[in-house]
Amino acid sequence: MIRNARLRGRVGRLLAPVLAAVGLAACSEARPVRVFPADALEVATGDRYRVPIVGGVLATRSVREFSLAQVPAGAPLIERRDTSGRVVGGFGTVELAANPFLGELLNTGWVAATADGGAVFASAVRRLVIRFDANGRQRWRTELPQPAGYRTPALVRQGSSIRPAFTEVQHGISAGPDGRVYVLADAGADSVRLDILDAAGRFDGSKRVPRNKEIYVGGEGGVTVAVPPPGAGSVGARVAFPDIDLPALNGDARIRLSDYQGRVVVINVWASWCGPCRTEMPVLDRFAEEMDTSRVVVVLGIDEDEDADDARRFLRSLGGVSYPIARGGGRQKPTIGYRGLPYTVVLDAEHRVVAAIHGFGDSIDPIRSAVETALGETGTSRL
């Protein structure tokens, strides 16, 4: 036990960046800690939900986008991926479904890192929560009664097609600073139920909280909510973007996101076969040239063609672009998590996601707006 108050404060300040890197925060009983941001229910995911940890991310199959396919026997329930997106380990193993087409859906869910280096998983389609220690061993597994009207995942016929039918019963999970686990469930139009499990996995009650409010807990498990500060957006909710380290499409250089630390970054993922990309890229190129004079905003492209020559011919047909292009090779979806192309991500100066923009309409105003938001946080006004 650290008895000296000044030393306790100093240790707390030293540990805060380490804990923040795994999605946690140092706390005391006197200062509540946020466990869910105001937009927790609106988090957009691709086929994986990700949370940053030291050296990579934890990823789970996403109920927002999944395939009607079986999962490989023995595959991890929670994937641990390095900064390049490679699966390097994980926690638990997937559950095989009686109907192989429902394998992915049955194993969708949410993940949170824990202070001891472990992880906690909440199924999206069952009231199931599983806690793992740092060595991957299951510490506890809790399954609560399903809500009234619950629909067991199944395939149903709709006209001439087959579609999955299911109920999403859990919408997020957080490992609290007090050892408890907090799960978002039963979301309504105006409120959401917060289920609480103690450090041993025992159900410790529920609390109905307003929707679109930040949720805080104290050292003793008290729950409070707050309205996000004006102009704060969802800064605290932002997820760190994986560090990109890819070869340039032309030449021998490498393009690394880490080389642009402290700068607002726009990452545009494209391919030669993407029709909207052909319309978007010249507009984005003009924006990149406008931003280049500031030296605080950079635009990076990632080409997802399997054949690099296809990408080079495509760029020549456009007359080229002024910003750097990395060679993705059609292998970046597991890392970046896009659903389709074009896909643009705006990162703040700490390389956390400010906005993820799918597709392209008729202007880059959504990109410009997100860049302005990120610049405003750095104290830089309109360029």
Taking only the tens place, the pLDDT of each residue in 305-340 is 999 999 999 999 999 999 999 999 998 887 887 777
Residue 174 has pLDDT above 90, yes or no: yes
Q: Read off the pLDDT of residues 176-215 as tens digits, 9 standing for 90 and up.
A: 877 899 999 988 878 899 999 999 999 999 999 998 888 9
Q: Read off the pLDDT of residues 269-292 as tens digits, 9 standing for 90 and up.
A: 999 998 889 999 999 999 999 887
CA-angle at 129, arms to 156 and 75, nearest 5° = 70
Say what the pTM is. Answer: 0.57
pLDDT bucket at 82, cuts 50 / 70 / 90: confident
- The domain spans of the chain are 5-233, 245-378
Q: Read off the pLDDT of residues 335-365 as tens digits, 9 standing for 90 and up.
A: 887 777 888 999 988 898 888 887 786 678 8
pLDDT bucket at 158, cuts 50 / 70 / 90: confident
Q: Read off the pLDDT of residues 55-73 as tens digits, 9 standing for 90 and up.
A: 888 999 999 888 889 999 9
**Fold of domain 245-378:** Glutaredoxin (3.40.30)
| pLDDT (0 to 100) of residue 209 | 92
